[in-house]
Amino acid sequence: MPTRALTGPLLVGIGGGIAAYKVCGLVSAWAKKDAPVRAVLTASAERFITPLTLATLARHPAYTDADFWEPKWDRPLHILLGEWAGVIVLAPLTAQMLGQLAHGLADNLLTNILLASCAPVLLAPAMNTAMWEQKSVQRNLSLLLEDSRYHLLPPTSGRLACDTVGAGRMAEPEELEHYAQSLFWTQGQRDLVGKRVLVTGGGTREHLDPVRFLGNPATGRMALALAQAAFHRGAEVTVIHGPRSAPVPEYLTSYLATSAQDMARLLEVHFPPCDLLLMNAAVADVRPQSNHPQKLPKAKLPASLPLEPIPDLLAHLARHRRPGQVVVGFAAQTGDILTPAWEKLHAKGLDALFANPLDEPGSGFSGPTNQGWLLLRNGTAQEFPNAPKLAIAHGILDALKG
């Protein structure tokens, strides 16, 4: 796997809004990775959160407009910080700051840093629903996003601090962290713009009755990392996930597939238009021959459970793909992973297959990291050492691209 970094010098710019408290989670998480992070507060942000709090979390003094006018720097502070930053996160992004950036205006330390920097910028808006939906705000957003430097993590829906229920909640710190990591990996390049990526994840459940089923431990964390990586690179992403999957962010289109049959129905709809299928779901191989609509009393449970095979969804899709579609499978193995992986790649007619060991530390189900081998139809294989699942996801996308 290409050696790239998920971290680097991160500058977090904080606007004036109640969501400013969430930024503490991002600053703390970045510092705990032993990665450099600097916080810059606008004057209005200081009404919601103190420079001392951010300085403590960042292990470095936070900057305010008061620092902007101090003559103690070797070079202008906005130039120093603009050149230092590898990625900039603006959270919360207010309507005021959005309007300034859209029109190239700067009247404080933070906005001057943005104009003095060439680093990718992640926008995390937060405001009242009516404010967010104003035509003028959306017009400013569209204008700003014409600049490829700027990336949007849209607000989610829910109950806001003003008690309004609707769009306007700032993204959670973990989402900000993941997107910032992706920007360090890609250096802000959107190489999947215009591509439609379909990701399946999690495990399916094949029910004997409403409370008993055959299943597996898949949690969908690898699928979520694949979906996030593709979205961060500009793709239009759809996720089909099992019932035990990690929560899917609101900005991703997602569908629940409880059983293999559910998965098959959804794939029939969403596979034909996609450009890339990442079939990470752990779909069951067999199911009970009978599915009882009512819970079976314990005394009536069968002593042996007759099973029937489930059609191979991935092989079926690979056989019926249109020209130009790329189909990638995933195989969790124990023992020798390469021999069965090559057999699956060829038997199913896949373009690529990622095989990961279940019996090695730091890989497999539920954990934050993974490892394995990516096998390509041309006969080449690429080893992926243990790494965070987001790094594995980007490495797979890089290999498929080139």
**Catalytic residue numbers, as ranges:** 162
> How many CB atoms sit inside 10 A of residue 163's CB?
6
CB 223 within 8 A of CB 245: yes
Burial class (CB in 10 A: 0-12, 13-18, 19+), 18: middle
Q: Residue 102 is encoded by which pair of tokens? A: 């859209």
Q: How far apart are CA 56 and CA 41, in angstroms?
A: 14
H or E segment to which residue 316 belongs: helix 313-319
Pairing relation of β-strands 352-357 and 150-152?
Answer: unpaired
DSSP characters over 333-375: ESS--HHHHHHHHHHHT-SEEEEEESSSTT-SSSSSEEEEEEE
DSSP calls for 54-99: HHHHHTS--B-HHHHT-TTSSS-HHHHHHHH-SEEEEEEEPHHHHH
| Helix (DSSP H) and strand (DSSP E) numbers for the chain | 14, 19
